[in-house]
Amino acid sequence: MLNGIFLVVVVLSLLLAAATGQMEPLAQALLDDAKKAVTLALGLVGVMAFFLGLMRVAQDAGLLRVIARLIAPLMRRLFPSVPVDHPAMSAMILNISSNMLGLANAATPFGIKAMEELDRLNGRKGTATDAMVLFLAINTSGLALLPTGVVSLRASLGSQDAMAILLPTWIASGCATLVGVSAALLLSRLPSVRATAPPAVAPSSDVASGPTEADAPSSPGASRARLLVAAIVCGTFVWLAARYAWGALASAPVSEVIKRLMSSWVLGALVGGLLLYGWSRGVKVYESLVEGAKEGFQVALRIIPYLVAILVMIAMLRAAGGIDLLVALLSPLTERIGMPAEALPMALLRPLSGSGAYGVMASVMETHGPDSLIGTMVSTFQGSTETTFYVLAVYCGAVGVTRTRHTLAACLAADVAGLLTATWVVRLLFG
């Protein structure tokens, strides 16, 4: 499906640019975004290397098995083809959890790791399995507990209640997730889709291995001592966070303090917690992290071609005036369902371009105010949906998946559900 969409969008963009005299901007956008794709991929190298290293520490310490078993009943029902103690389960959980907390920097490496582990169970490399499709549908549905980036922007633009989008974001992203999961499961049962499903591969015996004997603590006493030290450090960190929050409340509203804690302290707690857990289990955390970090460089190189193709396609569509044309065609319909014409460009760009959608959202809020109906609506769009084409390019590119089967249909169904629900909820609560 992506092959057809790519060709159609590129050809239509060329024809539209030729008809409107926009060939020069189109050519410039093509070159600029091709460079941007490489820069973006290289910028991901450090982040991916570090967090994939953390994944290795967690795996060596046995934490991934513990996490997977905690929610095994739910994950087993959603992903029956993936063994409960397989590393893919834990990687998917860490990815989804990071997305829910607004920790995008951590979510992407965890998601790539999940795709790599799922590909180990893939009997036909290059073709997405049902488990991959379902995982991507969940990922792109944008399920979020705290959209820290949007809240931060609203606060910086003078919002009187930057956290007002939380309830509509929860409802919209929850509906998007339900629709995405349902679409992925239902589409996978269609005979035409089922016929393209890759055969399953039994996991190798060492895939889900935990810490080795060499990494084990030297004695039970040493293990208890490490656990006690880790507990003291964690308790001290929590106390310092509480003291910081209490002091910040004297000069900032509660919403601002929560935003600071979630955007900075939670990420630090995640990093420190994983390293301390590994150390307390006797893992050589530095060596383990470095070993896992080596994967990040290889992954970044693999995703560059996919990013180039997607970003160039989107740049050509925008430069040719395709987005403006879609807005003109769709605005009469969307206004009937309560979506103002000013919010439609944001809705169209959100699945295509994260930076483009963010820029439109900022512009709309600066013009109409962050607490206006339109400002609240575009904020909810940003917080409750995901950049679908970017996610597919990065995650599928990381494992060389070119035949995505029903992935795009399921992900776009989640996007549409999230946008429509966000429109309805914001109208209901703030209209």
Under 8 Å between Cβ of 169 and 147: yes
- In this predicted structure, the answer to whether residue 212 has a pLDDT above a threshold of 50 is no
Mean pLDDT of 212-235: 66
Question: Residue 127 region, left (φ>0) first, then alpha (ψ -120 to 50), else beta?
Answer: beta
Under 8 Å between Cβ of 24 and 14: no
Percent over 90 (pLDDT), the chain: 17
Is residue 187 domain-shared with residue 287, that is, in the same domain? yes
Is residue 334 domain-shared with residue 190, that is, in the same domain? yes
Of the ranges 192-206, 216-230, 340-354, which one carries the lowest mean pLDDT score? Answer: 216-230
Condensed to tens digits (0 to 9), the pLDDT of residues 370-411 reads: 889 988 999 999 878 888 888 888 898 888 898 999 999 999
Listed residues 227, 256, 281: the one ending a domain: 281
Is residue 123 domain-shared with residue 239, that is, in the same domain? no
Secondary structure of 272-288 as H, E, C letters: HHHHHHHHHCCCCHHHH
Is residue 169 domain-shared with residue 289, that is, in the same domain? yes
- In this predicted structure, the answer to whether residue 103 has a pLDDT above a threshold of 70 is no
- In this predicted structure, the answer to whether residue 202 has a pLDDT above a threshold of 80 is no
- In this predicted structure, the answer to whether residue 296 has a pLDDT above a threshold of 70 is no
- In which residue are the tokens 């979506």 written? 339
- In this predicted structure, the answer to whether residue 363 has a pLDDT above a threshold of 50 is yes
Residue 259, pLDDT score: 66
Chain-centre distance for alpha carbon 291 = 24
Condensed to tens digits (0 to 9), the pLDDT of residues 32-78 reads: 888 877 777 777 677 767 877 887 787 788 776 676 667 667 777 88
Is residue 157 domain-shared with residue 265, that is, in the same domain? no
Domain of 391?
Answer: 2-216+282-430
Is residue 84 domain-shared with residue 194, that is, in the same domain? yes
Compute the distance between CA of residue 82 and CA of residue 128 in angstroms, rounded to an integer: 14
- In which residue are the tokens 């804690």 written? 261
Listed residues 238, 266, 281: the one ending a domain: 281
Q: Where does the pLDDT of residue 135 fall: very low under 50, low under 70, confident under 90, or very high at 90 and above?
A: very high
Residue 247, pLDDT score: 87
Condensed to tens digits (0 to 9), the pLDDT of residues 261-279 reads: 766 677 788 788 888 988 8
Is residue 69 domain-shared with residue 175, that is, in the same domain? yes
Mean pLDDT of 205-230: 56
Is residue 142 domain-shared with residue 265, that is, in the same domain? no
User: Tokens standing for 50?
Assistant: 């570090």
Listed residues 226, 248, 281: the one ending a domain: 281
The pTM of this model reads 0.73
Condensed to tens digits (0 to 9), the pLDDT of residues 226-257 reads: 888 888 998 999 899 889 888 888 887 776 77
Task: Give how many domains the chain has, as a whole number.
Answer: 2
Is residue 289 domain-shared with residue 416, that is, in the same domain? yes
Is residue 150 domain-shared with residue 258, that is, in the same domain? no
Is residue 168 domain-shared with residue 294, that is, in the same domain? yes
Condensed to tens digits (0 to 9), the pLDDT of residues 15-39 reads: 999 998 889 988 998 888 888 777 7
Is residue 41 domain-shared with residue 80, that is, in the same domain? yes
Average pLDDT, the chain: 81
| Backbone dihedral angles phi then psi of residue 123, each to the nearest 5 degrees | -85, -5
